[in-house]
Copies of this chain bind each other. A is one copy, B any other.
Amino acid sequence: MEESLIGNVLVAQSGGPTAVINASLAGIVAEALNHECIEEIYGALNGVEGILNEKLVDLAAESQQVIRGLKYTPASALGTCRFKLKTQEDYARVLEVFKAHNIRYFFYIGGNDSQDTANKISELAKSQGWQMRVIGVPKTIDNDLPMTDHCPGYGSVVKYLSASIRELALDHEAMGNHDIVSIVEVMGRNAGWIAAGTCVAKRRNQMEDAPHIILLPEVAFNADYFLAQVQECLKKNKFCLVVASEGIIDENGNYVAAGDAQDSFGHAQLGGVGEYLQNLVAKNLPGVKARSCKFGHAQRAAAHCASLVDANEAYLCGQKAVQAAVEGNDGMMVALVRGDTEKYSCETVLVPLGEVANGVKHFPENWIAEDKISISYQFNKYILPLIQGEVCVPFENGMPAYVRLAKEPVQQQLPPYQSA
């Protein structure tokens, strides 16, 4: 497309880790090696924080074994951050670091915020005449990025949680003659994609299977309605398994569980939705055994039960980002597009970073069933392809053998950064 731009690559990871974010990193490194115009392949430690502080590592120095191991190693191998570039000085510093290391290709693997940052960096470089290409790579278990059919990371969290819920349901079912209400708190503060996804724990055509009640942030929580639905479920089944998004809100738009705040008496408030609902049931339905589970951050790191389709797509997004940059694209994110054939297929396209940045894709209303606590059957067509196949994690001495980067430092060229 454009003339060849010779220089170095910089990759960084940002936001909450996932089971497959390192697969994208592996895709970028493997693809970068294919292109003559790319000289060095650097990684920034802990996202933009590592760029500001010029903490770069040499990814080309990593062993083949380690790069291959990234395809099944969870969490962010380069480290991640929740840091936002704040001032003009911050942005200027980023560009200064890029220039000092002849960075001509920048790949930022992250969610909404990160795509916004990537967009601003791209625009700044352009306005300052620093020729470079910035491509965003999507990642988020939340699946809430606009402009892409789905996000790498989502299929794996759904697969792990649904497998765990299917197992948990067998356990409850075996307990026999007790009324058990079991709450599973799952991630998803703003959108219910994760909670909704766990509906695949049901066997095909067994709508009465767990999960019986799914609570989404998109639906205002009403305690009376909830308790009535729980009781109805207990009448039909011997137990009631509830999946609740951590971010469910009440009719006034307030979070149902407020986090680790304290009330005016200094009593600790309930930390999570799971324990909140467990207590609600215990208090209001005497004789019922209430239980709760919270997989916490383990759910987004559960590579031992990751989706192969998801991992492969994450890798593909990394590869395609490099190809797009080499071909001359800039200021774009790799997005996933689903083929419209009966058999699932998935391709990548480029979408402008500016159109992705800071948007949130909510769980579609027409996939929420009329009762507001279950998911319509149509959603199955969307979700099932994303959880297919199992990532094969090698085990060593009984434990998953994940890799760690050697992180050979790139020599610093600039004085330390003092942020304003």
Contacts and interface: CB of A to CB of B under 8 A. Distances in A.
Interface of A: 13, 17, 45-46, 49, 73-82, 159, 162-168, 170-177, 182, 184, 200-201, 204, 260, 262-263, 265, 267-268, 270-272, 274-275, 278-279, 282-283, 290-298, 300-305, 307, 384, 387-390, 395, 397-400, 402
Nearest to A74: B167
A177 B296 contact: no
A22 B397 CA distance: 25
Given A75-B174, A296-B291, A399-B163, A271 B279 contact: yes
Given A298-B164, A388-B397, A398-B387, A278 B292 contact: no
Contact of A398 (B46, B172, B389): B389
Contact of A174 (B76, B204, B395): B76
Contacts of A200: 398-399
Contacts of A167: 74-75, 298, 301-304, 400, 402
Contacts of A260: 278-279, 282, 290
A79 to B, nearest CB: 5
Nearest to A201: B399
A170 B384 contact: no
B80 A174 contact: yes
B398 A388 contact: yes
A307 B176 CA distance: 26
Contact of A268 (B80, B170, B279): B279
Given A159-B398, A174-B17, A388-B398, A271 B297 contact: no
Nearest to A47: B176
A267 to B, nearest CB: 5
Given A305-B305, A398-B387, A271 B278 contact: yes
A295 B302 CA distance: 13
Nearest to A274: B294
B297 A168 contact: yes
* A175, A274, A292 pick with most chain B CB within 10 angstroms: A175
A13 B302 CA distance: 31
9 contacts: A75-B171, A75-B174, A76-B174, A167-B298, A260-B279, A265-B267, A268-B270, A294-B294, A294-B296
A392 to B, nearest CB: 10
Given A75-B173, A174-B75, A282-B260, A395 B390 contact: yes
A297 B293 contact: yes
A398 B197 CA distance: 12
Contacts of A182: 296-297
Contacts of A301: 167-168, 170-171
Given A174-B75, A294-B292, A275 B271 contact: yes
Contact of A166 (B79, B389, B402): B402
A272 B301 CA distance: 23
Contact of A46 (B17, B163, B177, B302): B177
| 5 interchain residue pairs of minimum CB distance | A293-B296, A75-B170, A387-B398, A167-B301, A76-B174
Given A79-B176, A167-B298, A171-B300, A384 B402 contact: no
Contacts of A397: 204, 384, 388
A182 B75 CA distance: 16
Nearest to A180: B297
A22 to B, nearest CB: 10
A365 B296 CA distance: 31
A399 B161 CA distance: 10
A305 B303 CA distance: 11
